[in-house]
Amino acid sequence: MVEIEGIIAKAIDGFYYILVNKEEYCCRSRKKFRFKEIEPKVGDKVTIKIIDFEKREGVIEKIHERTSDFIRPQISNVTQVFIVLAYLEPKVNLEMLNKMLINFEVEGVKTNIIINKCDLHGEEDDREVNELFKSFPYDVIKVSVKDRININTIKNKLHNNISCFCGASGVGKSSLLNEIVSKNIMDISTLSQKIKRGKHTTRFSQLIYIDELDGYLIDTPGFTSVSISKNIGMDDLKEYFIEFMDYYEGCKFRGCRHINEAQCNVKKAVQHGKINEMRYEMYVRFYNKFNQKEK
DSSP string, 175-232: HHHHHHHTS--S----B-TTT-SBSS---S-EEEEEGGGTEEEEE-S--SS----TT-
Tell me: pLDDT of 221 over 80. no
pLDDT in tens, 73-124: 889 999 999 999 999 888 889 999 999 999 999 989 999 999 999 999 999 9
Amino acid (one-letter) located at 114: I
**What pLDDT does 197 receive?**
39
| Angle at CA of residue 207, ends 204 and 211, nearest 5° | 150
**What pLDDT does 232 receive?**
87
Tell me: pLDDT of 203 over 80. no
The residue-averaged pLDDT of 210-238 equals: 82
Tell me: pLDDT of 219 over 50. yes
Q: What is the mean pLDDT of the chain?
A: 87
Amino acid (one-letter) located at 148: R
Q: Does domain 3-65 bear CATH number 3.30.1330.40?
A: no
The residue-averaged pLDDT of 38-42 equals: 90
Domain with CATH 3.40.50.300 in the chain: 70-219
Structurally, at CATH architecture level, domain 237-294 sits in Orthogonal Bundle (1.10)
Domain with CATH 1.10.40.50 in the chain: 237-294
Report the distance separating Cα 288 and Cα 83, nearest Å: 26
**What pLDDT does 35 receive?**
67
Omega prior to 40 cis, within 30 of 0? no
Report the distance separating Cα 236 and Cα 16, nearest Å: 37
**What pLDDT does 45 receive?**
97
Report the distance separating Cα 52 and Cα 107, nearest Å: 37
- Ranking 5-19, 34-48, 232-246, 255-269 by mean pLDDT, the lowest is 34-48
Domain with CATH 2.40.50.140 in the chain: 3-65
State the CB neighbour count (10 A cutoff) for residue 17: 18
Q: Which CATH superfamily is domain 70-219 in?
A: P-loop containing nucleotide triphosphate hydrolases (3.40.50.300)
